[in-house]
Copies of this chain bind each other. A is one copy, B any other.
C-alpha cells in the first residue's frame, strides 16, 4: 500500500463561500500531481522521499500557491522562501530559509538532506548552495505574480498606519518603486480578489512508499508583508515538517504557534509515546496550537496507511492518492 497526501495551505474565518474563480486551477494542479506522483509511487518507481520532493516541486511551480513561483511578497518588496524535508527511513532532514533565487526551494532542502551537513542554511548561503548544486536559478521578477503584487499593495495600504516610523514608510515606498504589473488582476471579480487576498497557500506533501518508508516536505513564501528575515514553522524540522518510521506530517497555519508547540514532532510523539491514533494526535495538536493563535491545518499519514487532514479554519486545499483513487477538497467535507 502506498499513500500520497498534499496540501496547498489552510486559512480563512467563518463558513466557506465555495470555490473562487481561481480555485479550479488549484484543484487541477493538485489532481494532476496526485495522479502522476501517486501512480509512480504505486508502481514502485519512486521512494516516499522522491514523491514528496516531486509533489512539492510541482506545487511550487503553480503560481496560485504560496511557494516557489507565486510566493507572497515581503515588507521590502522581495520574495524570500522557506522549505524543509525529512526522510522517515533514517530521520535525515534538510531545510532552508530566506531563499530568493531558486525556482524550487524544496530541492535545496532535499540536496541538504542528502549531503547530511549542514542540514539547514539561510539567506545568501542557501541561495549560493542551491546555485552550486546546479538547481534552477530564477529572478525575483519571474517569481512574483500580479496577484501577489496586488496582495502586497493591499497589505502596504493597510500598514501605512499611525505609529509607523519614517523608516517603515521608507521601506514601503522604496518597494513601491518596483514596476508593478497588475493587469491580470482585472480578469477576476473584486469579491474574488478579496477572497484570494486573504487566502492561504503554503504547500506540503507526505508519502508512504512500497518499502513502507515515510517522508514529508513543506514549502512556503511566508506571509505577505513579512518583515525581512522572518522565519515561520515551514523550514523548521519538528514544527512545520516531521517524518519518522511511524508518521509523516506537514503543517500549515500561523507558523509562530506551530513553533511554540513544536507541532509536527508533537504529533509523532503523541502517536509513539501516548499511544493515541493518528487522528486523535492531529486533533490534540490543533487544540494545542489554537490558544497561541495557530489556526491552520495538518496533513499526516502513518506507516499503517492512515490519512488525516484536519483543519480549524475555513478551508484547506488538500488531496490524497490512496488505493488508486485521487481525492481533492477545499472546504469542509
Contacts and interface: CB of A to CB of B under 8 A. Distances in A.
Contact of A260 (B93, B121, B226, B227): B93
Contact of A227 (B121, B242, B259): B121
Contact of A122 (B91, B229, B238): B229
A214 interface: no
Nearest to A123: B123
A149 B59 CA distance: 45
Contacts of A261: 91
Contacts of A230: 118, 120-121, 125
B242 A262 contact: yes
Contacts of A273: 269-270, 273-274
7 contacts: A121-B230, A122-B231, A125-B230, A236-B236, A238-B259, A269-B269, A269-B273
Interface in A197-238: 226-232, 236-238
Contacts of A86: 260
Interface in A87-134: 91-93, 95, 97-98, 116-126, 128-129
Interface residues of A, number: 45
Contact of A91 (B238, B239, B260): B260
B265 A262 contact: yes
A93 B310 CA distance: 26
Contacts of A128: 228-229
Per CB-CB distance, the 4 closest pairs between chain A and chain B, nearest first, are A125-B229, A125-B228, A238-B262, A273-B273
Contact of A116 (B229, B237, B255, B256): B256
